[in-house]
A = this chain, B = another copy of it.
Amino acid sequence: MSSPLRLGVAGLGTVGGALLKLLDRQASALAARTGREIAVVAVTAQDRGKARDLDPARFDWASDPVALAASPEIDVFVELIGGADGIARAAVETALQEGKSVVTANKALLAKHGLHLAKLAEAKGAALGFEASVAGGIPIIKTLRDSLAGNQVSRVYGILNGTCNYILSRMETEQLSFGQCLAEAQKLGYAEADPSFDIGGYDTAHKLAILTALAFGTEIAPDAIAVEGIEHITLADISAAAELGYRIKLLGVAERTAAGIEQRVHPTMVPRSSAIAQVMGVTNAVTIDADAVQELTLVGPGAGGEATASSVIADIADIARGMKVPPFGLPMRALAPLHRAPLQTHEGGYYIRLSVYDRSGAAAAIATRMAERTISLESIVQRRRAGELKGASAVPVVLITHATSEKLIGEALKDVLADGFIAEPPQVIRIERE
């Protein structure tokens, strides 16, 4: 058996704590699988005094992450601090500069500085593993990078944020409002005190940016992602989706189009019978469309200490086994600049919910405005709530369109607005067919 692989772990929160426990529990199995003992030789955490389920005397404590990263005692620096900049970035750069391999769960760091870090790793001959940065315990990085090496990917999409999927699932199953479900998610620890990063779609966007680079061999371009969150989804939309045979999911979608790579994060109507629609609660799912394998879907836990630690260990085991693959599956010079497709050209069906003043002819006028823009309708449903009197208030009108462009939808809705029929800004949700 070779010499032990010596780890330095920075950050002992949910994932860091679970990692130490898991490494203990699987120590002999991991040594057998990788041919080396895997030893945590030093750790660091913001608050050393904080009660933890571990015996702090077992480890050397480094004064700070950068000192740990620079330590000659470690072979691999495991970064579980988080944050795109600051100490996490400084420590990862230090480790790579020293030629040490890095394993990280930090999607914000990867999305913002992934190219720079991967170049540094390449220059120094170090590994940079980030399986845990996207979709928790799901081995999506390795699948895209290694298992699909013989494929050309045309689309990758998925449910990448457990908080949003939990909220949308609960709204439907419990018929609760967005606000009620968000409060519940916060109480259960699924959502942060400031939830805007999750529910605004930005967390999904970070993860999508990483997947895009791997799937299409392009540079990471998080700023080229059109991002829309779930804050404006109402119970009315959830119910209308259900009635029409759809379910609403927050998807991250990256797609190769004739006009370039399209990256978008937004609430999406997916057919209720589709595999992705079955994914409820905090579970994540990623589907890859590629020429040879056609369609491959991975479903699993998108968060949680042990599930994420499982992915951290997968990267550590690869390093212990001496596997060396470029972080993004290609030499850095081979990554193409990301040519961004203009989103307005996106072709697809749309769900539109309008709050229409209850006047005769309103629905017909709306349908006419759509027809003027060559938007054809799959369905139009106008429904008065039980007990409401005609003319008493605005009523919901729900349209489902056939494939059209965002640009035409925008123009038609501008006309509808100008006609004075609608009481509130329209709700527009893209439909993703399989």
Q: Which residues of B contact A139 (CB under 8 A)?
A: 143, 146-148, 296
With beta carbons under 8 angstroms apart, the residue of B294, B304, B317 that contacts A307 is B294
* A300/B309 in contact, CB under 8 A: no
Query: How many residues on A have C-beta within 8 angstroms of the other chain's C-beta atoms?
Result: 62
* B29/A152 in contact, CB under 8 A: yes
Q: How far is the CB of A175 from chain B (nearest CB, A)?
A: 18
Residue of B nearest to A288 (CB): B300
In the complex, whether A275 has a CB less than 8 A from a CB of chain B is yes
Q: Which residues of B contact A310 (CB under 8 A)?
A: 148, 150-151, 290, 292-293
In the complex, whether A35 has a CB less than 8 A from a CB of chain B is yes
Residue of B nearest to A140 (CB): B147
Q: Which residues of B contact A138 (CB under 8 A)?
A: 296
What copy number does this chain have within its complex? 2
Q: Looking at chain A's contact residues, is the secondary structure mostly helix, strand, loop, or mixed?
A: mixed
In the complex, whether A33 has a CB less than 8 A from a CB of chain B is yes
* B329/A33 in contact, CB under 8 A: yes
* B299/A275 in contact, CB under 8 A: yes
* B334/A150 in contact, CB under 8 A: no
Residue of B nearest to A31 (CB): B334
Q: How far is the CB of A39 from chain B (nearest CB, A)?
A: 15
Q: Which residues of B contact A149 (CB under 8 A)?
A: 30, 33-34, 313-314, 317
Which 5 A-B residue pairings sit nearest by Cβ, starting from the closest?
Answer: A150-B313, A139-B147, A149-B317, A292-B310, A137-B293
For the A-B complex with A26-B152, A33-B329 known, give 4 more contacts whose Cβ atoms are closer than 8 Å.
A22-B150, A29-B152, A147-B314, A321-B325
Name 29 A/B residue pairs within 8 A (Cβ), A-sorted.
Answer: A25-B152, A26-B150, A30-B150, A32-B217, A33-B149, A33-B330, A35-B331, A137-B292, A137-B294, A137-B296, A139-B296, A142-B146, A142-B147, A146-B314, A146-B318, A147-B311, A149-B314, A150-B313, A150-B317, A275-B275, A278-B278, A292-B309, A293-B307, A294-B300, A294-B301, A294-B307, A296-B299, A297-B299, A299-B299
The interface of chain A, by Cβ under 8 A from chain B, is: 18, 22-23, 25-26, 29-30, 32-35, 131, 137-139, 142-143, 146-152, 217, 273, 275, 278-279, 290-301, 304, 306-307, 309-314, 316-318, 321-325, 329-331, 334
